[in-house]
Homo-oligomer: A and B are copies of this chain.
Amino acid sequence: MEKEYVVGVDIGGQSTKIGVVDRRGNIVCQTVITSKYEADQGDIFLKSISDTILKLTEEVGFESIYGVGIGAPNGNYYRGTIEDAANLPWCKGKVVYLADTISSQLNGIPVTVTNDANAAAVGEMTYGAARGMKNFIMITLGTGVGSGIIVNGELVYGHDGFAGELGHTCCVRENGRVCGCGKKGCLEAYTSAIGVARTAREWLEFSKEPSLLRNIEEITSKDVYEAALEGDKIAIEVFNYTGKKLGEKFADFVSFSAPEAIVLFGGLARAGKFIMEPIREAMEANLLSIWKGKIKIIPSALKESDVAILGASALAW
């Protein structure tokens, strides 16, 4: 039987998505299970993943599965592990040998692990906006800022498997905001969805400008986007500032790997021209002349709801 499917598993803090995907990137079937297990319940969770894969693949036949790809926070490709993931209680402060365990529970099928942003990059290269590209950088703008770097058609894993943490490069050197990682001034602290909401709150406090956002109690980045759509001055300025911070750092990233494109994925990337124009402007202003006008910035071509499974599944090919 030809092995014409792969399984993609995306492990998040709350839930884990599992899907069967064909070579063209169609999700044949999918399901969701909970990720909420306590510190001593890691074994139970992994068994639940394996059992769900067995059940989900019954229809296409388990023998037609080429392999399993898993995207997870702090996923390590070299070791097939998740290591000290703060938002997964069953993996906090320890190393979980995910690939070996699940592979042995599934008759030795190949299992590949990496972090979610790396998985998204491979998904984009296999099925999405970066098809045919050999050098690009994927930036995921969500609760955090993740990245996956493709050089010569392959993910950059680095010496230890943890390369590509561009959300934790420095964008404000002096008196920068404290980031979730404990460092100060990280890109993520300014340009994640949480960073955008924080910028809005700070600016409302220090300005007297009227704003639609003043009526909202717990401002989210979505509120800022909706206010910008209404022409709200502060909301638009917040996106300008966020885009500037991203664009400035993108110019640094280009100096590193000279990518054909930077592909943006996630909630913030959907803010369209409000964010894309300031990003482009700041990047161009900071690029070496050899790269001016040559680096594309493009949004992901994958459906938001599909990308987690597609990205993880693409690892398995």
Contact = CB atoms under 8 A, between A and B. Distances in A.
A23 interface: no
A157 B73 CA distance: 29
Contact of A258 (B133, B154, B158, B290): B158
Contacts of A290: 83, 160, 162
B294 A160 contact: yes
A259 B159 contact: yes
A75 interface: no
A288 B168 contact: yes
Contacts of A253: 256
Nearest to A285: B183
A158 B259 contact: yes
A227 interface: no
Contacts of A168: 255, 288
Interface in A132-180: 133-136, 149, 151-152, 154, 156-166, 168-170, 172-173
18 contacts: A133-B159, A149-B256, A151-B156, A156-B256, A156-B258, A157-B258, A159-B259, A159-B260, A160-B290, A160-B291, A160-B294, A161-B258, A163-B258, A165-B255, A168-B255, A173-B248, A183-B288, A256-B257
Interface of A: 83, 133-136, 149, 151-152, 154, 156-166, 168-170, 172-173, 181-183, 248, 251-253, 255-260, 286, 288-291, 294
Given A159-B135, A256-B253, A259-B158, A286 B170 contact: yes
A279 to B, nearest CB: 16
B149 A152 contact: no
